[in-house]
Amino acid sequence: LRKPLGLTFRPNELAREKSHIHIAGYQGKKIVATAVLVPKGKSCKVQRVAVKSNLQNSGIGQQLMAYCEMHAISKGFQSIYCH
């Protein structure tokens, strides 16, 4: 997301994000939804959730969140939250 804006990554930023879990929702070969799970001990924080604007209110976001929850549980996290 930074490259199109002309922004760069610093090595310390990349190191901090190394444990993040990136989730993508596809329609065919196109990414139409995304979310990031950030491990925080036994919990997992959901960040940067997005659904392509013309597909909002179609249920894709709900499916994405359900998948995030299932994935977090499968990796042993005891809770998932956002804010």
pLDDT number for residue 44: 93
Nearest to 46 by CA among 59, 55, 33, 57: 33
Please state the pTM of the whole predicted model: 0.79
pLDDT digits (tens, 9 = 90+) for 12-53: 877 777 788 999 999 999 999 999 999 999 999 999 899 999
Task: Give residue 2's pLDDT band: very low, low, confident or very high (50, 70, 90).
Answer: low
Residue 1 — pLDDT band, cuts 50, 70, 90?
Answer: low
Residues contacting residue 49 through CB under 8 Å, at least 6 positions apart: 33, 34, 35, 61, 64, 65, 82
The CA-CA-CA angle for residues 44, 50, 51, to 5°, reads 130
Helix (H, G, I), strand (E, B) or coil at 21: strand
pLDDT of residue 82: 86
